[in-house]
Structure 1
Amino acid sequence: MGEARALAVALAPDFAELPSTSPQETDGPLDWPGYGTARKLAAERTGERESVLCGVGTLGGARAVLIAFEFGFFGGSVGSAAGERVVRAFAHALAQRLPVVSLLATGGSRMQESMVSLRQLQRIAAARACLAEAGLPHVAVLRNPTTGGVWASLGASADVIVALAQAQIGFAGRRVRPPGDDHAYRAEGQFAAGNVDEVVTPDDLPAVLAQWLELLRGNADPAPVPNALGTAEPAAGGWDAVRLTRAAVRPRADAYLDDYFTARRTISGDRCGGVDDGVRCGVGLHDGRPIAFAAQLGTPTTPAGFRTATRLLRLADRLRLPVLTLVDTPGAANDDRAERAGLGPSIAELFGAIASARVPVTTLVIGEGGSGGALALAAPDNTWITPDAYFSVIAPELAAAILKRPATEVPAVADALRLRPEDLVALGAVRGIAGTR
């Protein structure tokens, strides 16, 4: 039994292969000398008739279509027969309303079929796009190695990307890339660059996949407002509200996520080469129901953080998952690095994603609501606030500086901004103040 079939059966013991067309037994569309003989040898060595096997099985409690690449068969490369198998597997998932789990181990397109092989990537991308349009999830597992066009067309387009530890991952394979930093082509390097959501061990893979399939189930009801975890005492004034919010003992986003969800998994990175450790995004279970979340952790949010939140919103919208956002930031990062990375456009994309969302979005301001960097995560008509939080057009210190007032007048400026929770409710800026248990 080849590695791909063994993995498919290990993940889904009831794995049943889908019918497939007969593979080529000739020298192929190019009349490549010896190609037919090499195919027969690959089949004898692996027990497979192609580089891809596709079937249906149960992972945890969820039925899914599995697409498993056999690296021992021409390096898991895709030719016309393999491409046809993948396209048919996506079509079966679409017809049966099933998620897809792809188990990649591939060197890319098959040289012996030249452009006939390369064009399979377009067919696979189109099939994947149809699945996404239908609101069905695709989870990709990157095994060792995952390189070339299959990584770029199938793996990198997945809703959630899980990589096995130390797997070689990259568009350029080892034999065709220039010398450089090998870490960039490993699972851990791709995770650090924001291109992979999780790096897991083979032992953990079954549980991780089963949980992701459980979490990516759409539902319609809005996310309930979380309970406030900090003080319930109202602030005496605007500056008092700011001081309460900035207190070291105030509960942060992770405390709210732990309290709200019984289980959760995170996505990581903006898939543009950036990661913001101050933004936490993913999907969790609340009262047994999947809810997507995007949470700020109290730091200035960078373009990568806004783009990751946008990615989460668009994923939730496509899969019909309600969204919870937790706002806590002094504001958007305002240094030159953030500007070069596209700060304005990244905020604009997030504003647009929330404005156009077809799923309900619930927002709770749990700390500092610093200007547009905080507002970008806020639901226009369903934003709530905790007693120990504030929301303001600008930080009081910055407002005083713009008004050319001394530091001694910052408290008075804070009062004038009317940024206390009670003031925000009266102004109609938030719907209400979250209650405590």
Structure 2
Amino acid sequence: MVEPTGTRALIERLCTRFREWQPEHVPETGQDGPLNWPGYDEQRALARKRSGADESVVCGHAWIGAQPAVLIAFEFGFLGGSVGHESGARIVSAFTRARRLRIPVVSLVASGGSRVQEGICALRQLQEITRACLQNRKAGLPHITVLRNPTTGGMWASLAAGADLVLASPEAAVAFGGSRVRSRDEPDDAAFTAEGKFAAGQADLLVADSELAEVLTTALTLLGPGRSTRSPEPAEVPAALGRAPLPDSGWTAVQRARAPARPRAEAYLDDYFTTRLPINGDRAGGTDTGMWCGFGERHGRTVAYAAQTGTATAPAGFRTATRVIRLADRFGMAVLTLVDTPGAANTAEAERDGVGPAIAELFTAVAEATVPVTTLVIGEGGSGGALALAAPERTWITPDAYFAVIAPEAGAAILKRGHDDVAEVADRFRLRPQDLLELGFVRGIASPVR
């Protein structure tokens, strides 16, 4: 028995079952393709012989672990995984079948881009593929892509980059312009790699082949069929993990919230979820390690989360939170947000990166969400940078947290008061948990772990 190689071997490693489909409709072309490219038929025949595949894309109904999905797998050995009219039709057909079956799409991309021997007829496949992706997005069906080596050109810019969850093989070449079409004066740079895309917030996870089946199984379990509903129940309010006694003064509340030993987002997320799948970055070139976002399992259902970790939130952090809330809204999943920030980053870099519009977009995402958003303030609630992540009328607070219009020190400066007046300003802000409850800003004070 001949052992499978290339894409077939990858499919066998990933899938517990796989049933390949032939495309439902492929436009007919004459000899040597739509452009009558000399020798094109011979090139395809040689590619079939060398790769063992009849085209650059294999599609079918797959089970990864116990989770069903429509699988789109590229065979780079067939003319560099390039996409022409036939392979484009296969991709579009795969998305159509996923909508019929109401299951996610997983795409394993390894492509040099559009097939030059088919010219504009190949290039226009990017529009068809994008339209198919959009239809599945509107249907609330997840698309998970894996960037393999290489992922360049049109398949990066249409199929892969627009996926809901982007996984990437370490050291894979990932770029819109492949190495053969970039300027010879352009030096090698990490920007053209999977690691560069992860650092720039354009990929969610770097996943080695040995871990890919496990990560895809987790992703499909959390995002797959049965985990979404049109009217999900709100996420439960997490238990308070820190000190239980309520503070006797505003300044005491601030000091407790700033205490280095206070439980942070990681402790709350670990306590709340049994499994988590992180997402990374804002898809616009930025990341913020102070904003943790993703999806987690809580009592057998999936809840999206966005959690501040105690640092000033950068524009990329606000945009990443916006991204996960909008994904949850589309998938029909409740959202949990954890507020803990002294405020939005106020540096010149943050201003150049659009901190104001980024905060505005997050406010909008929370306001327009059709799924319930539950918020727990677990530390500092600093001004608008914290409020943007808070759900109106569904916000709770822990005993060791506070929320204020601005930090007491900044408030004193605005009021032209000295350092000795900061504690008094904190009291006048009425920022303690019990004050916020009395003022109607929070619905309750979270109970401690029993």
TM-score by length of 1: 0.98
Q: Deviation per CA, 1:205-224, whole angstroms, max 9, x where unpaired?
A: 00000000111132412110
Q: Deviation per CA, 1:333-383, whole angstroms, max 9, x where unpaired?
A: 011110110011000000000000011100000000000000000001100
Q: Which residue identity lines up with residue 362 of structure 1 in the other structure?
A: T
- What displacement does 1:24 show? 6.3
Of the candidates 377, 398, 418, which is equivalent to residue 365 of structure 1? Answer: 377
Q: How does 1:6-155 map to 2 (within 5 A)?
A: 6-20=9-23, 21=25, 26-155=31-160
| Counterpart Cα distance in 2 of 1:223 and 1:159 | 22
Aligned partner of 1:213 in structure 2 is 220
Q: Deviation per CA, 1:361-416, whole angstroms, max 9, x where unpaired?
A: 00000000000000000001100000000000000000000000111010000000
Q: Which residue identity lines up with residue 387 of structure 1 in the other structure?
A: P
Aligned partner of 1:201 in structure 2 is 208
- What displacement does 1:26 show? 2.8
Q: Deviation per CA, 1:212-242, whole angstroms, max 9, x where unpaired?
A: 0111132412110000000001101101100
| Counterpart Cα distance in 2 of 1:58 and 1:200 | 19
Q: Is the Cα contact below 8 Å between 1:24 and 1:81 reproduced in 2?
A: no
Q: Which residue identity lines up with residue 267 of structure 1 in the other structure?
A: I
| Counterpart Cα distance in 1 of 2:303 and 2:66 | 18
- What displacement does 1:2 show? 4.7
| Counterpart Cα distance in 2 of 1:313 and 1:281 | 9
SS of 1:305's equivalent in the other structure is helix
Confirm whether residue 246 of structure 1 aligns to residue 258 of structure 2.
Answer: yes
SS of 2:55's equivalent in the other structure is coil
Aligned partner of 2:199 in structure 1 is 192
- What displacement does 1:321 show? 1.2
Moved more, 174-183 or 100-109: 174-183
Q: Which residue identity lines up with residue 143 of structure 2 in the other structure?
A: H
SS of 2:37's equivalent in the other structure is coil
Q: Deviation per CA, 1:150-171, whole angstroms, max 9, x where unpaired?
A: 1110000000000011111010
Q: Is the Cα contact below 8 Å between 1:25 and 1:39 reproduced in 2?
A: no
| Counterpart Cα distance in 1 of 2:139 and 2:11 | 25
Q: Is the Cα contact below 8 Å between 1:326 and 1:364 reproduced in 2?
A: yes
Q: Give ranges in structure 2 of 5+ residues lacking alignment.
A: none
| Counterpart Cα distance in 2 of 1:161 and 1:176 | 24
Of the candidates 282, 298, 305, which is equivalent to residue 317 of structure 2? Answer: 305
Aligned partner of 1:320 in structure 2 is 332
Aligned partner of 1:229 in structure 2 is 241
Q: Is the Cα contact below 8 Å between 2:17 and 2:64 reproduced in 1?
A: no
Q: Is the Cα contact below 8 Å between 1:2 and 1:70 reproduced in 2?
A: no
Q: Is the Cα contact below 8 Å between 2:30 and 2:36 reproduced in 1?
A: no
SS of 1:131's equivalent in the other structure is helix
TM-score by length of 2: 0.96
Q: How does 1:395-410 map to 2 (within 5 A)?
A: 395-410=407-422
Q: Which residue identity lines up with residue 298 of structure 1 in the other structure?
A: G
| Counterpart Cα distance in 2 of 1:325 and 1:25 | 57
Q: Deviation per CA, 1:110-167, whole angstroms, max 9, x where unpaired?
A: 0000000000000000000000000000000010000001111000000000001111
Q: Deviation per CA, 1:264-315, whole angstroms, max 9, x where unpaired?
A: 0100010100011100000011112111000000000010000000011111
| Counterpart Cα distance in 2 of 1:103 and 1:377 | 34
Q: Which residue identity lines up with residue 281 of structure 2 in the other structure?
A: G
Of the candidates 165, 173, 177, which is equivalent to residue 168 of structure 1? Answer: 173
| Counterpart Cα distance in 1 of 2:395 and 2:31 | 64
SS of 2:95's equivalent in the other structure is helix
Q: Is the Cα contact below 8 Å between 1:281 and 1:309 reproduced in 2?
A: yes
Confirm whether residue 383 of structure 1 aligns to residue 388 of structure 2.
Answer: no
SS of 1:204's equivalent in the other structure is helix
Q: Is the Cα contact below 8 Å between 2:56 and 2:78 reproduced in 1?
A: yes
SS of 1:225's equivalent in the other structure is coil
Moved more, 174-183 or 286-295: 174-183
Q: Deviation per CA, 1:18-39, whole angstroms, max 9, x where unpaired?
A: 1225786830010000000110
Q: Deviation per CA, 1:72-110, whole angstroms, max 9, x where unpaired?
A: 001001000000000000000001101000000000000
SS of 1:15's equivalent in the other structure is strand
Query: Which aligned runs of 4 or more in structure 1 are off by greater than 2 angstroms?
Result: 19-26
Aligned partner of 2:307 in structure 1 is 295
| Counterpart Cα distance in 1 of 2:353 and 2:411 | 26
| Counterpart Cα distance in 1 of 2:188 and 2:155 | 22
- What displacement does 1:180 show? 2.3
Q: Is the Cα contact below 8 Å between 1:25 and 1:40 reproduced in 2?
A: no
Q: Is the Cα contact below 8 Å between 1:24 and 1:36 reproduced in 2?
A: no
Confirm whether residue 277 of structure 1 aligns to residue 284 of structure 2.
Answer: no
| Counterpart Cα distance in 2 of 1:89 and 1:33 | 31
| Counterpart Cα distance in 2 of 1:66 and 1:308 | 27
| Counterpart Cα distance in 1 of 2:14 and 2:222 | 17
Aligned partner of 1:334 in structure 2 is 346
Q: Is the Cα contact below 8 Å between 2:149 and 2:174 reproduced in 1?
A: yes
Q: Give ranges in structure 1 of 5+ residues lacking alignment.
A: none
Q: Is the Cα contact below 8 Å between 1:329 and 1:373 reproduced in 2?
A: yes
SS of 1:194's equivalent in the other structure is coil
| Counterpart Cα distance in 1 of 2:88 and 2:259 | 57
Q: Is the Cα contact below 8 Å between 1:162 and 1:196 reproduced in 2?
A: yes
What is the root-mean-square deviation of aligned Cα atoms in Å? 1.1
Confirm whether residue 156 of structure 1 aligns to residue 157 of structure 2.
Answer: no
Moved more, 208-217 or 362-371: 208-217
Q: Deviation per CA, 1:31-87, whole angstroms, max 9, x where unpaired?
A: 000000110111111111110010001112211000000000010010000000000
Q: Is the Cα contact below 8 Å between 1:57 and 1:65 reproduced in 2?
A: yes
- What displacement does 1:9 show? 2.4
| Counterpart Cα distance in 2 of 1:274 and 1:362 | 26
SS of 1:105's equivalent in the other structure is strand
Q: Is the Cα contact below 8 Å between 1:2 and 1:48 reproduced in 2?
A: no
